[in-house]
Copies of this chain bind each other. A is one copy, B any other.
Amino acid sequence: MNDIAAPQKASKPRPTKDRLIRAAAQLFSNRGYHGVGLAEILAEAQAPKGSMYHHFPNGKSDLAMASATWASDQILLLIAASFEPSDSFVEGATTLCHKLADLFEVTGKWCGCPISSTLFEGPDNAEFHSHAAHLFEGWITEVDYHAQRLGLPKERAAMAAQNFYILLQGGWQLARVRRDSQVIRALPALLHYKPAAPGEACSDT
């Protein structure tokens, strides 16, 4: 897993494996695991079949795992880049939403969440599911860490992280449906982060 993000230790500038992972991540997030054939991935990555089965002996499923991990790491970087320079949780969350929205607008690609597209649509393989769960929890953990770092008490931070995750997934989906990034930009308003207002929060439960 760790050998993906960093280039191979030897000075080899031939990133066939990387090309495969990136191509797979992009295609899977657009059309899901079963929606993309190996031929398409190989064409996009300009790699022959032999190379792929050299780097990923278990074939498509191996590649899917690796590409999901890579995509998840990209998201983690995005989270860190958004929260690190921020002074409050809501500011970080807002930055993240805007970065994500910008990404959609600039690329024009209304892809789905790479992990759910790649691993959730696949065979109901237990390994796929647990890996997806692991990656998702990694997102929540990362947000939780920043929430605590930015001053939220432990319990509030956990709630805020999970809440933000839910909003992000739901908003991502609706934005894709409408092809409108405004949905994502409006998400932070739904966080309802109230540093000190315990009483009379909701009507009932």
Select the stretch in A42-50, A62-70, A77-85, A193-201 that faces chain B.
A193-201
| A174 in contact with B169 given A191-B202, A200-B197, A202-B189 (CB within 8 Å) | yes
Q: Quick one: which of B94, B117, B132, B202 contacts A193, CB cutoff 8 A?
A: B202
Q: Is the CB of B116 within 8 A of A120?
A: no
Interfacial residues of chain A within 10-35, with CB under 8 A of chain B in the complex: 30-35
Per-residue interface assignment for chain A, residues 166 to 182, with 1 indicating a CB less than 8 Å from any chain B CB and 0 otherwise: 11111101101110000
A148 at interface by CB-CB < 8 Å? no
The number of residues on chain A lying at the interface, defined by a beta carbon within 8 Å of a beta carbon of chain B, is 52
A121 at interface by CB-CB < 8 Å? yes
Q: Is the CB of A32 within 8 A of B30?
A: no
Q: Is the CB of A167 within 8 A of B165?
A: no
Q: Is the CB of A124 within 8 A of B31?
A: yes
Q: Does more than half of chain A's interface fall in helix, strand or loop, or is it mixed? A: helix
A3 at interface by CB-CB < 8 Å? no
> Which B residues touch A61, using CB under 8 A?
none
In the complex, which of the residues A121, A122, A177, A201 has the most CB atoms of chain B within 10 Å of its own CB atom?
A: A177
Q: Is the CB of B189 within 8 A of A194?
A: no
Interfacial residues of chain A within 103-150, with CB under 8 A of chain B in the complex: 112, 116-117, 120-124, 132-133, 136
Q: Quick one: which of B117, B169, B195 contacts A203, CB cutoff 8 A?
A: B195
Q: Is the CB of A194 within 8 A of B204?
A: no
> Which B residues touch A91, using CB under 8 A?
204
Q: Is the CB of B162 within 8 A of A174?
A: yes
Q: Give 7 closest A-B pairs by Cβ, nearest first.
A: A170-B170, A166-B170, A34-B34, A169-B170, A32-B121, A34-B35, A192-B192
